[in-house]
Structure formats: structure tokens, C-alpha cells
Amino acid sequence: EQQPLVSPYDETAPLEKRARSWLHTNCSHCHRVSGGGSVPFQANVVPTLEEMGLLGETAFKGDFGLQTDPKLIVPGNPYASILYYRSATTGPGHMPMLGSKTVDLRGLRALHDWILSLSSAAKEQSLPKNIKTPSQALLLAHLLDSGKLDATARKRFLRSAKKADSAEISGVLQRFLEKK
């Protein structure tokens, strides 16, 4: 049965519907049955969450430095989820592949909060002193987007990130590093 789409930006709508509507709009043209996407998951709103093939499913198109056994979605941990990385980066692996390299911040927030909500044991993580992994870069980007870092901390972390020797870290943080 077709589920109605909602605006991913409508914070009065249920979080799962917002995130799934965002995925449907941005990903389901390829990621659906016979859609041509090389990673076999269904982003359209018709299948149940379990039928989508996202939760705990192994990622076959690169780990992007997130972990040794990369998963499309790690319930409760957006910073270890390939889907979140691909939506948050402007660098290698950005999705959708065609079109904008701009990160949809409001859609990304819906994905973040939805992935976090998929585990009752989920909790926000804290940043280390220096950014050394793509997961840490995703956390930093989330905190920067949320306005949760003061100017001093922002400068310190971005200075650390500039020194990172990783295309994945740079791709996630590039939009902050380019700002004057």
C-alpha cells in the first residue's frame, strides 16, 4: 500500500515519515526494485522498514573509513552509517550521484535523528581533541550544523580537521573549511 509522503522539513510530522519521504524523494529513482542502483536497497516508501534492506545491511561500495564492517544504517549511530555519510559529504561517495553537491541540512537532520531513534540504547557522542576519522568528522559536522559549538571550539576543531590526511574527512567538512 502506498504511504503518503510528508515534507521532510515538517517537524510536526512523524520522524520516520519525514526521513523516509526524504529518502523516497532523493534516492528512490535508483534505489528501488529494478531501479538500477548498484546497492540493493529500496528507498521508496512502499516497503516496510525491514523490507527496505537498510538496517544492519553490509555496504558493498566502500567503507569510507567508517568501520571495518560497514553497514548502510547502524541503528542508533548515524556517524557509523554509510547512508548518513553519503548524504553528509560533498566529497567521495556523495549521493545522489547526479545533481547537487550541496548538503540538504534539514533533510540530513531528519536522517540523523531518525537513525539515532532506531535504537533505544543510542546516545549522543562526544568529540575527541582532534578529528582523525570520518565518523568523528560526521559528529563534528552535526555539532557545527546544530550550532552546539562556541566560536573557540569551532576554530580549534576546524584547524585540526584541516590537518587531516583523508579525502573522507575533508569531504564531510569542506563546506565549513571553505567559509571565511
The pLDDT tens digits of the residues spanning 12-52 come to 999 999 999 999 888 877 766 666 666 777 788 888 888 88
Q: What is the pLDDT of residue 1?
A: 55
Pure H helices in 3-150: 15-27, 82-88, 105-117, 134-145
- The gap from C-alpha 58 to its chain's centroid, in whole angstroms, comes to 16
The predicted structure's pLDDT at residue 34: 60
pLDDT at 84: 95
What pLDDT does 178 receive?
74
Q: Which ranges of the chain have pLDDT less than 70?
A: 1-3, 31-38, 98-99, 179-180
Query: 39: helix, coil or strand?
Result: coil
